[in-house]
């Protein structure tokens, strides 16, 4: 099976940088995803990592270390609209190429304060 | 390009009844995945359909079933509803081919079982 851990809640100040961590224990691995979900809305795709290292996309960056079972999402220049839940999800190796059997963490609720 | 659509958006049913939810994926996408989201368990994978075939299935009882049509539209059915089935049901579409990784969620169907 797969077990994914993320902090439940975090608070950060507008304009600051915040790092949301995700650790996973799996019997295999075929990619890690980060999604953003605003209250009452559907999740939206943020990033995908399958190899170790940092992927940067504008104000958002995602890092992966497969040997440590660890990822983080880095949000820079925080804005009030970044207040949302951030979901880490892992795709298992047995799900098949192109498949979407994702296991999600319970999400980190980020509150951005003025 | 139109997004993922789900109908109905809200539904109230009583215990013992059955329900059918519908999802229309983005044009050209052949994979549809279904997820259940609850405050306690977070997002949990139900099943994935690709080209009318169930490709993967999560750990849900047989009361939960689904199908996909030749136009890639998908339905999921829950029979003999229980109070614990109250949740937000999300579908997500993707190309579903090797190398694809972006998955787009619909707005969800909020099911309340009384």
Residue segments in chain B with a per-residue pLDDT below the cut of 50: none
**Rounded to an integer, what distance in angstroms lies between the CA atom of residue A112 and that of residue A114?**
7
pLDDT tens-digit readout, B84-98: 999 999 999 988 777
* CA–CA dist A99, A47 (Å, integer): 16
Report CA torsion sign: A108, A27, B58, B98. Answer: positive
Percentage of residues in chain A having pLDDT higher than 70: 91
Contacts of A98 in chain B (CB under 8 A): 31, 50, 94-100
Contact across the interface for A100 and B107, Cβ inside 8 Å:
no
**Over 70: is that where the pLDDT of A11 sits?**
yes
Interface probe with B: pick from A102, A107, A108, most Cβ of B within 10 Å: A102
On whether the CB atoms of residues A18 and A108 are closer than 8 A, the answer is no
Cis before B8? omega within 30 = yes
- A contacts of B42 (beta carbons < 8 Å): 87, 104-107
What pLDDT is attached to residue A29? 75
**Contact assignment for B96 to A98 by CB distance below 8 Å:** yes
Is the model's pLDDT at A100 over the cut of 70?
no
pLDDT at residue number A20: 98
- Mean pLDDT of the residues in chain A: 91
Task: Band the pLDDT of A96: cuts 50, 70, 90.
Answer: low
Q: Which residues of B touch A95 (CB under 8 A)?
A: 56
Does the pLDDT of residue A62 top 80, yes or no? yes
pLDDT of residue A97: 53
Q: What is the pLDDT of residue A10?
A: 98
């Amino acid at each position: 099976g797969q077990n994914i851990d993320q902090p439940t809640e975090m608070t950060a100040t507008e304009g600051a940088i915040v790092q949301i961590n995700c650790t996973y224990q799996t019997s295999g691995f075929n990619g890690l995803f980060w999604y953003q979900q605003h209250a009452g809305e559907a999740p939206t795709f943020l990033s995908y990592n399958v190899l170790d290292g940092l992927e940067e996309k504008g104000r958002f960056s995602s890092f992966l270390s497969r040997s440590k079972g660890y990822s983080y999402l880095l949000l820079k220049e925080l804005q009030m609209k970044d207040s949302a839940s951030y979901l880490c999800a892992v795709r298992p190796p047995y799900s098949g190429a192109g498949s979407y059997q994702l296991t999600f963490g319970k999400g980190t609720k980020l509150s951005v304060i003025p | 390009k139109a997004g993922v659509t789900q109908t109905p958006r809200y539904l109230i049913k009583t215990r013992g009844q059955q329900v059918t939810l519908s999802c229309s994926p983005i044009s050209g996408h052949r994979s549809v995945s279904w997820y259940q989201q609850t405050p306690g368990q977070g997002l949990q994978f139900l099943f994935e359909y690709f080209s009318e075939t169930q490709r993967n299935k999560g750990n849900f009882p047989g009361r939960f079933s689904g199908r996909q049509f030749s136009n890639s539209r998908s339905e999921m059915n829950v029979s003999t509803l229980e109070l614990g089935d109250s949740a937000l049901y999300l579908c997500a579409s993707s190309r579903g081919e090797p190398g694809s990784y972006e998955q787009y969620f619909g707005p969800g169907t909020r099911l309340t079982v009384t």
